[in-house]
Every structure is written in structure tokens, then in C-alpha cells.
Amino acid sequence: MGLSDRDYARATPPNSPQRRAGVGRMRVLSVNTWIIIINVVVFLLGMAFVKYDTRTRRAEPIQWQVSAGNVYAADATNEQKKRGFVDHTRVLPISDMPGYFGYPILDPKSPIVDPRTSRPIVTLQGQPMVTQIGWERFVKMNPLDAIGHFSSGKALELQVWRFITFQFLHVNLSHLVFNMLGLWFVGGLVEEYLGRKRYLAFYLVSGLFGAFAYLMLNVLGYLAKQNLPTWLPHIPAPLLVQDIYTSLVGASAGVFGVLMAAAYIAPGAIVDVMFIVPMKLRWAVYIFLGVAVVNLFLGSANAGGEAAHVGGAIAGAFFIRRPHLLRDFFDFLGDSRKSRRLPQPQHTAVDKILAKISEQGLESLTPSERAILHRESEQSRDRSGS
């Protein structure tokens, strides 16, 4: 999706308010720029984790083993689970989870009996073979993905940093490029409207809410699957039935939040969807959101990602209308309202904007001018203690 301040956005006159709004522009080393840089650097670092195998004489990726929880057979009893032990001498792929492996969990007091002789089956070493009651599962990932990916299972293990770190990881180059293009085209506009600190809080909160949406729908889907009534043919959408250790990565939730904010700030800006179809920004964003909602309810292959998209979009639509709620996002480092020195208001710019309103009406203001008035209003509110 390309945005108008270039010659491919032909539907908007060069001097119109939408063209002056800063859509598609971004200050060098703005917060938005740093978010893009960090995402790209993290992606390149992930690719750099390789080792040279002297046996094959090839460079191979370094992968860490990441726990994916224990699963048990449906008929395994609580007593069996308590006394079960993990056989780390054997590892096998998990048939219904491609890329996942498991160590068998065995019950030492449940020998396997030969039905013909009713005698326990023994190994070549003369030890009785015992019943497998489950798996201790794991998956292999590069170190950054291992530390930073999000999953419902990891969240339930209180690994809370993953609500933030997953937002800077990507599956492949195309995943990274599409997300960063979204930030490149509209992130600068939203940062100009919110200010640097609030924009960072806005982006992170949108991604965080995307993870919460994924977590909620995944846990509810998992519980529904475990207790599915016999009369219910399948788990209703949009509950997610994938395993609770299925990983989630990507900046998409934060990007959807930023897109919703841009649609609110400059709804009439002309965009070229997929660089081809000219359309107002508001409708382009709503179409993207509609596709995500439909895919979520249809249970598409990327339903988990779509849940995060919808969660990020809802957060973006909410907080862009209530940006004062973002003020204290970073206050875990200290109360931002204590003895802080506020920047001097831009009296000259504000006076000019007020004069313009007097002459041409409120509708004549550009999003940039609205942003200046918005920031001045917020600063006045802070000074008054409200």
C-alpha cells in the first residue's frame, strides 16, 4: 500500500490538506525510523546465528531447543502423570505438529502385556517395557526466536517479556518487508500527531493487545477442545484450536494499530492499494481489517495471526481517540508528572492556526495543524493537573 505525497498518488492535488499532512513522510531518526531499524537489525542478527559444520563443510543455522510443554494421552490418569518419567534416550517427531519433537513420558508401573500370553513384554536387556502416557515436547529455533517469540503457553508460564519482544521478530523477508512498508508510509504521520514518546507507547500497546487477543482466543479454543460436547460438531469461530505452544511473531499487530490511527487522523488521504488501486486511506484500512476479521472467523491457516491483527487494530482505534491514556506508559521508571519541565508552547504556530480557524473554519486545518493544537491542549491539561 503506497501513500500520497509522491507522483503515483495522482488523485490528490499537490497543495491539498491531505498532501500537506506528512503522509508517507518520516523524519530521519524519528521513533518510527528507530522501530524500523530495530526490526531490520533483529532480522539480520537472526540470520547471522550460524556455525560451520566441519563434517558437511557447510554453514548451518544455530538452533536452541525450546520447551513446548507436556501432553498426555486422553486416558492417562492423574496417578500415572504423577509417577511418569521422561525417557531422554529417545526422541521422535510429533506427528500432528510439524517441526516439533518429543521425549516419551513413561509410566513405570504400567507394563505392556502380550495379549497372547498375558505376560509383560521385555526389552533385549530383560527390562519390562512400560506404557507411554505422553510426550515432553520441544521445538528448535534460532536463539532470538527462542528467547522472544510469543505463545499462549509461554504467557501462562509468566514469561511476560514476550508480549513485547515478539513484535520485533519475523518469519521471513517478505513478512518483514510488508510490515515495515506499513510503518514507513503511515508511521511518521501518527508520530507527528502523538509525539515521539506517546507514539512509541501507542505502537507497543497495539502489539501488546494483539498478543492478548491471540492469548484469549487460543486459551478459550484450547479449553473448548478439551471439553467439546458430543452434540457440538466443531469449535465455533473465532476460537483458535491450535496448540497453546504455537508461536506468534511479527510487528503486524502494532502495524494494524498504526494503520487504524492513520485512518482516523487523515481519512481522506489517497493511497494506492498494492501500488495499483487508488483509494481513500480510511477505506483501504477498513478493507484490510475486514479481510483479517473474515479470515479469523473462517479459521484460515493464519487465524492466529489474524487474531493479533484484529486485537492490534481495536487497540489502535481506541487509543488514538484517547491518547492521554498513553501518558504514563513508561512510568515504571518513575512518575512522569513529578517536577517535569514541559516544552514551551508553540505560541506563534498556535496563533496562526487560531487565525486560520477564524478566517476559514475548523475544516480547513491540516492533520499537522490539528496535531499542534492537540499537543498544546494536552500540555495545558498537564499543567493544570487534570
Asked if residues 31 and 200 have their Cβ atoms less than 8 Å apart, the reply is: yes
Hey, what's the torsion of the CAs at 76, 78, 80, 81, to 10 degrees? Answer: 90
> pLDDT in tens for each of the 386 residues of the chain?
544 443 333 334 434 444 444 455 544 578 999 999 999 999 999 988 888 777 877 888 889 999 999 988 888 888 888 898 999 888 989 887 888 999 999 988 888 877 777 777 876 666 778 888 999 999 999 999 999 999 999 999 999 999 999 999 999 999 999 999 999 989 999 998 998 899 999 999 999 999 999 999 999 988 887 777 655 567 777 888 888 999 999 999 999 999 999 999 988 888 877 778 888 989 999 999 999 999 998 888 888 999 999 999 999 999 999 988 887 776 654 444 444 444 444 457 777 777 777 666 666 777 777 777 777 776 665 554 44
Q: Enumerate residues 6+ apart whose C-beta is below 8 A from 14.
A: none
Query: Phi and psi at residue 51, in whole multiples of 5°?
Result: -135, 155
CA neighbor of 308 nearest in space, from 218, 207, 222 = 207
Q: Is the dihedral of CA 313, 315, 319, 321 positive or negative?
A: positive
Tell me the CA end-to-end span of the chain in Å, nearest whole number: 40
Looking at residue 180, its pLDDT comes to: 95
- The predicted pLDDT at position 292 comes to 93
Dihedral of CA 174/298/205/212: which sign? negative
Task: Report the C-alpha gap between 169 and 150 in whole angstroms.
Answer: 10
CA separation, residue 53 to residues 44, 63, 142 (Å): 21, 13, 16
Q: Which three cell numbers stand for residue 272?
A: 494506492
| 332 DSSP assignment | G
Cα-based angle 361, 366, 368 (whole degrees, multiple of 5): 130
pLDDT at 42: 96
Distance CA 206, CA 124 (A): 58
Q: Distance between CA 7 and CA 17 in Å, rounded?
A: 16
Residue the block writes with cell 497543495: 15
**pLDDT for 239:** 85
d(CA 215, CA 248): 10
What pLDDT score does 207 carry? 96
How does 50-73 read in b/e, with b if 16+ C-beta sit within 10 Å? Answer: eeeeeeeeeeeeeeeebebbbbbe
Measuring CA to CA, which residue among 148, 202, 162 is closest to residue 32? 202
Euclidean distance between CA atoms 267 and 143, whole angstroms: 41
- How remote is the C-alpha of 94 from its chain's centroid? 26
Find the angle CA(359)-CA(361)-CA(366) to the nearest 5 degrees.
105
User: What is the structure's pLDDT at 341?
Assistant: 45
Cis link prior to 238 (omega < 30° from 0)?
yes
CB 9 within 8 A of CB 2: yes
pLDDT of residue 129: 85
Task: Give, for 134, the enclosing helix (H) or strand (E).
Answer: strand 130-141
Please, what is the Cα angle at 249 between 259 and 237, to 5 degrees? 75
